[in-house]
């Protein structure tokens, strides 16, 4: 069920974004696909923050397209002549991401709201990761659920588990890291220079939230995970955190794409309930 729903969502996303990043070495002009006038401005800032942090980390094999121009209507970046990912390129992605995640940031969250795909993403700056994820990630998405019965079901679990969930996440997060925030396979392109990150939903949080999303839709080879773990091994509670962090994304897809995601949401919610 989850993989079928994910395939449908990927088709929708690819249709929306057109993924016109392929082609010659000319510019790609992306039109605003959403009803939010600042969506492309948020995307541009996310690309710039990613690029700056990768540079600070000394990462040379993981790339971010340069923002040439941006407005409420259009984002102009170089086209990327993308193709299949080699094992070497997947390893470069894992290594570069781990190096970026290893850069210790001062706070969790972000200093401005932005977007997660086609949904608004609410941010603030804080030193309490668990409370941030509970309130600004899970709480926001649960509050957006249109079905009152389902919304109350999820609210009841979060209310009952709020203290334990926040404690667990704080205990098992080493430090704030810059996250891509929407790291599914459609948001990584590969060309002769290596991997490129696109369409970010950046904020500062637990690095394993990024890795968790790579497993939600698949598309990342074992070379990616081996390279990541060589540089910055995942924690021994990663499997539990994967379900918690992917609850945010499955809720977002449920709110965007409908009931085919509800069973995945409930599966992840069960992990929260069992803490």
pLDDT of residue 80: 95
pLDDT of residue 3 exceeding 80? no
pLDDT 10s digits, 100-151: 999 999 999 999 999 999 999 999 999 999 999 999 999 999 999 999 999 9
* Start-end of H helices in 18-101: 39-56, 87-101
Q: What mean pLDDT is predicted for residues 149-163? A: 98
Specify the pLDDT at position 5. 43
**pLDDT tens string 61-81:** 999 999 999 999 999 999 999
Query: Residue 150: its pLDDT value, please?
Result: 98
For residue 178, pLDDT over 50 is answered with: yes
Report the topology of domain 2-273. Answer: Aminoglycoside 3'-phosphotransferase; Chain: A, domain 2 (3.90.1200)
Q: What are phi and psi of 27, to 5 degrees?
A: -80, 150
Q: Does residue 10 surpass a pLDDT of 50? A: no
- pTM beyond 0.75: the answer is yes
pLDDT band at 183 (very low <50, low <70, confident <90, very high): very high
Tell me if residue 182 is catalytic: yes
**Distance of alpha carbon 16 from alpha carbon 18, whole angstroms:** 6
Instruction: Please report, for the chain, the start and end positions of each structural domain, with discontinuous segments joined by +.
Output: 2-273
pLDDT for position 12: 41
% of the chain residues with pLDDT over 90? 90
Higher-pLDDT residue of 3, 193 = 193
Q: What pLDDT, on a 0 to 100 scale, did the predictor assign at position 161?
A: 98
Among 38, 128, 182, 270, the one annotated catalytic: 182
Which residues are CB-contacts of 85 (< 8 A; sequence separation ≥ 6)?
93, 188, 190, 195, 221
Of 260, 269, 248, 261, nearest to 116 by C-alpha is 248
Which residue do the tokens 């379900």 mark?
243
């Amino acid at each position: 069920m989850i993989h079928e729903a994910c395939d449908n969502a990927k088709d929708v996303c690819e249709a929306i974004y057109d993924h016109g990043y392929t082609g010659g070495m000319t510019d790609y002009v992306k039109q605003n696909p959403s009803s939010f006038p600042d969506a492309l401005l948020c995307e541009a800032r996310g690309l710039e923050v990613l690029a700056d942090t990768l540079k600070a980390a000394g990462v040379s094999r993981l790339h971010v397209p340069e923002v040439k121009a941006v407005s409420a209507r259009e984002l102009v970046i170089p086209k990327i002549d993308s193709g299949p990912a080699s094992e070497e390129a997947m390893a470069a992605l894992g290594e570069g991401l781990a190096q970026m995640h290893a850069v210790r940031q001062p706070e969790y969250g972000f200093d401005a709201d932005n977007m997660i795909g086609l949904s608004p993403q609410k941010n603030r700056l804080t030193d309490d990761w668990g409370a941030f994820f509970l309130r600004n990630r899970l709480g926001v998405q649960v509050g957006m659920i249109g079905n009152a019965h389902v919304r109350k079901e999820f609210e009841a679990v979060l209310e009952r588990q709020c203290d334990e969930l926040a404690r667990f996440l704080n205990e098992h997060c080493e430090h704030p890291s810059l996250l891509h925030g929407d790291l599914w396979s459609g948001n990584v392109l590969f060309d002769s220079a290596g991997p490129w990150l696109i369409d970010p939903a950046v904020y500062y949080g637990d690095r394993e939230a990024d890795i968790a999303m790579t497993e939600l839709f698949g598309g990342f080879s074992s070379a990616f995970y081996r390279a990541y773990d060589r540089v910055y091994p995942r924690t021994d509670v990663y499997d539990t955190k994967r379900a918690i962090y992917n609850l945010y994304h499955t809720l977002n897809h449920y709110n965007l794409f409908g009931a085919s995601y509800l069973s995945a949401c409930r599966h992840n919610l069960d992990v929260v309930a069992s803490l």
